[in-house]
């Protein structure tokens, strides 16, 4: 299966279902404001349910039965397909290609790897290569153009520095990834 082209919200929902079968309410609880994932990347409850619908339509997750509840309606439990689990594992190890994706995509991948108690070493190593390539490209242009162009290149180079700082702070030697504190 080719890697599906999904928006970040759908990747997050798929990754959570790939961890263990779950229902939309439980996933929405994890992605709510201030929750484990929602603290860094908030996904509204309606967006979680829309994501589930789209993932079912694409054949990436499938309903496996209801969960009885004393409070409220039955909840449908979903499980990820084998190919979806493989796609999630691949996606979690892929570096982001653009600096703009570090804040959302890369940090989310690091959080999801931590939830799985998986080492982020491969992702961090691969991301460093991409960041180095981005920096090299920016350094080649940083003195070109007018003052505004030079200011933008300088600003983007600061983003490279910040991304490298994030990667340096991730503890890749631990089996349970954590961010080092100073």
Buried b (16+ CB within 10 A) or exposed e, 51-81: bbebbeeeebbeeeeeeeeeeeeeeebbbbb
Q: What is the pLDDT of residue 180?
A: 55
Q: How confident is the model at residue 4 (pLDDT cuts 50, 70, 90)?
A: confident
Residue 163 binned pLDDT confidence (cut-offs 50, 70, 90)? very high
Can you give the pTM of this predicted structure?
0.87
The pLDDT, as a whole number, for residue 154 is 95
Q: What angle do CA 69, 28, 10 make, to 5 degrees?
A: 125
pLDDT in tens, 81-111: 999 999 999 999 999 999 999 999 999 999 9
To the nearest whole number, what is the mean pLDDT of the chain?
91
Q: What is the pLDDT of residue 74?
A: 81
């Amino acid at each position: 299966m080719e890697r599906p082209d999904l928006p970040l919200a759908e990747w997050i929902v798929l990754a959570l279902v790939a961890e263990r079968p779950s229902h939309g309410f439980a996933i929405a609880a994890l992605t709510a404001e201030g929750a484990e994932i929602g603290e860094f990347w908030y996904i509204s409850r309606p967006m979680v349910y829309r994501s589930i619908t789209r993932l079912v339509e694409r054949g990436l997750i499938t309903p496996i039965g209801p969960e009885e509840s004393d409070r409220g309606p039955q909840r449908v439990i979903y499980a990820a397909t084998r190919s979806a689990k493989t796609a999630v594992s691949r996606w979690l190890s892929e570096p982001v290609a653009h600096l703009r994706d570090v804040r959302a995509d890369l940090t989310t991948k690091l959080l999801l790897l931590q939830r799985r108690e998986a080492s982020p070493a491969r992702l961090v190593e691969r991301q460093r290569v991409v960041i180095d390539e981005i920096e090299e490209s920016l350094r080649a242009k940083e003195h070109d153009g007018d003052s505004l162009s030079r200011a933008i290149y300088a600003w983007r180079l600061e983003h490279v520095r910040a991304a490298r700082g994030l990667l340096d702070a991730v503890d890749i030697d631990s089996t349970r990834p954590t961010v080092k504190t100073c």
